[in-house]
Amino acid sequence: MELIEVDSNWKDSDLRLDFVLGNLCNYKCWYCFPGSHEGTHRFPDFDLTVKNLKHLVDYYISQGKKKIFLNILGGEPTLWPRLGEFAEIFSKNNCLISMLTNGSRTIRWWEENSKYFSKINISCHHENIDVNHIRQVGDLIYENNCLVDASVLMDPLSWDKCVKIIDDLKLSKNKWTIISAEVVHETISYTEEQKQYLLKFVHRKPNLWYFYKNNNHPIDKIKVKFNKENKKVSVLPNHIMINSLNKFKGWNCNIGVDYILIDKDGRITGPCATKLYNLDFFYNLYDSDFSEKFYPEIVSKICDVDICPCQPSANLKKRVIPLMKI
């Protein structure tokens, strides 16, 4: 059967905004994608970034978005000295702020700054992780009423070590989410047994009372439609990526409408590095006149890339464009 439509439970009034602060990182994981930790883009100008990002957020709100889910990425974003100040500003500016981090900063840093976030995803890498430290960080964030989950990147070349990290994280004082995450790399393939482990990706659910009290983020629910079926069927959030169904060239995709990414160089794009809004150029957040010229028509686009590179973009609302009958 051929996949012809992807749907999600994200509301039309929601915008996911991923912001890559730079590519400075204190880890050098072998499987990270090119440009993710070289340190060629450190951190942006604070005042210009705040001014222009406020304009972008306000413009999307004027176009019907009500919730902005601002997700901060790197490199390692906690290395930015002004991250806490930045997060505090936007937590008061219609944004729910989440972050992907390796969790390596000191307990003191987390005590001072975790209060500005609504959700923190700790990415656990077997080559560098201090499991005891991550347990302490996870417990501290949890006790500050911020959602926290630990995603263990499952390197098939060090599979048993990665599984042990998951088991050791379960010894934390508080019950926060622990999941396994597939590594996307051209040299990687998983055995059938490993695929089954990854499909059952939640290895510890959080305390449910705590979760429903503190969660303000959508829980991804994905439906797909195949050409021989008359209805959409529910699948796990990682179904498309695990089964290599992430080839959508020629489809109509909601990139730019429900999801945008600000790259490390300031380009406004998607994880696929495509141009948005049916334009032939990129807007750049770091342009001095950005707030004067960023007023695009917020529309979906025809996919022009060969492979969708990550789970959030693969799960965006999209559909095959029917062939015209002659």
Q: What is the pLDDT of residues 60-105, one digit of tens each?
A: 999 999 999 999 999 999 999 999 999 999 999 889 999 999 999 9
**CATH number of the domain within which 85 lies:** 3.80.30
Q: Is residue 5 part of a domain?
A: no
- Give me the residues paired with residue 241 across strands: none
Extended strands (E) in the chain: 3-8, 14-20, 67-73, 95-101, 119-124, 147-154, 177-182, 202-204, 222-226, 233-235, 252-253, 259-262, 268-269, 301-302, 318-319
Domain with 188 in it: 11-221+252-300
CB 116 within 8 A of CB 141: no
Assess if residue 185 is contained within a domain.
Answer: yes
Please write the tens of the pLDDT for every residue from 207-221.
999 999 999 998 889
The total number of structural domains in the chain stands at 1
Rounded CA-CA distance 305/38 in Å is 25
41 touches 265 (CB < 8 A): yes
SS3 call for 253: strand
153 and 124 Cβ atoms separated by less than 8 Å: yes
- In the structure encoding, which two tokens stand for residue 208, read together? 């449910």
Residue 34 has pLDDT above 80, yes or no: no
Query: If you average pLDDT over every residue of the chain, what do you get?
Result: 93
Residue 233 lies in a domain: no
Average the pLDDT over 261-278 and give the result: 95
Greatest C-alpha distance within the chain: 67
Residue pair 18/261 in contact (Cβ under 8 Å)? The answer is yes
Alpha-carbon Rg of the chain, whole angstroms?
Answer: 20
Measure the CA angle with vertex 62, ends 59 and 68; round to 5°. Answer: 70
Is residue 138 in a domain? yes
pLDDT higher than 60, residue 324? no
Task: Give kind and range of the element (H or E) at residue 83.
Answer: helix 83-91
**Contact call for residues 92 and 115 (beta carbons, < 8 A):** no
Length in residues, the chain: 326
Task: Evaluate whether residue 89 is within a structural domain.
Answer: yes
pLDDT of residue 218: 87
Query: What's the pLDDT score for residue 183?
Result: 86
Banded pLDDT at 325 (limits 50, 70, 90): very low
Residue 201 lies in a domain: yes
With respect to residue 193, please indicate whether it lies within any of the assigned structural domains: yes
pLDDT attached to residue 323: 59
Which residues lie below 8 Å from residue 123, measured CB to CB, with a gap of 6+?
A: 100, 101, 102, 103, 151, 153, 181
- 324 falls within a domain: no
